[in-house]
Amino acid sequence: MKKIILFSFGILALSVGCKTKTESKPNELKIALEPKSGTNTAGTVVFSEKNGKVTFTANISGLTPGVHAIHIHEKADCSATDAASAGGHWNPTFKKHGRWGEGEYHKGDIGNFTADASGNGKISLTTDQWCIGCGDETKDVIGKAIIVHKGQDDFTTQPTGNAGGRVACTAIIR
C-alpha cells in the first residue's frame, strides 16, 4: 500500500512539475558579448523559445558606425583574442553561405545590421530552424558561439561572406 501511495504521489509531483514548467515563461537564454580584436564592442544576446520557434535578439554597442555581420559559429569558445577559437560558421546541413531565407545558407548565417552614429545596433530574427537545448544537431544552438564582425556580410563569398574581423563573441551555453 505504501508503495502505491508513494508511486502515485511521485506521478502527481512529476505531472505538476511538467505542467508548471510548460506553463512558465518560455525557454530563455541571455548572454553577454565580450569585446575581441582590441575593440570595445559589447552587448547582450537573448535566445527565447516558444511554440517551436526561437527568437534571437542582439543589442550591441561600441561598434564603428555602419553595417556589420553577425553569425552563429560552430564552437562555444571565445578564448582567442580574435575569437578564431569559435571556428567557422555553424553549418550542420552543409549548405553554401548566403542570405538567411533565400536559396542556400548556413544555419548560422543570421545577417547584417546597422550601427548608428553612436555605434549602437540591434538585430532580431525568429525561426523554427533553431532550438535551445533540444539535442537535434541540425537545430540546437547550445554549444555554439555568436560572433559580431567588423564589416558587412556580402552573402556571396564562400564560406564566410567576407565580413572581416571578429569584434565580439559569446558562447551559447547555459
pLDDT tens-digit map of 120-149: 999 999 999 999 999 999 999 999 999 999
3-class SS of residue 45: strand
Q: How far is the C-alpha of 46 from the C-alpha of 24, rounded, in Å?
A: 17
Q: Which pLDDT value is given to residue 6?
A: 38
C-alpha to C-alpha distances, 35 to 79, 123, 166, nearest whole angstrom:
11, 18, 9
pLDDT in tens, 42-91: 999 999 999 999 999 999 999 999 999 999 999 999 999 999 999 999 99
Q: How far is the C-alpha of 13 from the C-alpha of 128, rounded, in Å?
A: 31
Q: Biggest alpha carbon distance in the chain?
A: 72
Residue 159 preceded by cis peptide, ω within 30: yes
- The model's pTM is 0.84
More confident residue, 135 or 174: 135
pLDDT in tens, 23-36: 234 589 999 999 99
3-class SS of residue 20: helix
Cell of 157: 563569398
- Domains of the chain by range and CATH? 27-172 (2.60.40.200)
Average pLDDT over residues 153-171: 96
What residues pair up with 124 in beta bridges, in sequence order? 57
Helix, strand, coil percent content, the chain, rounded in steps of 5: 15, 35, 50
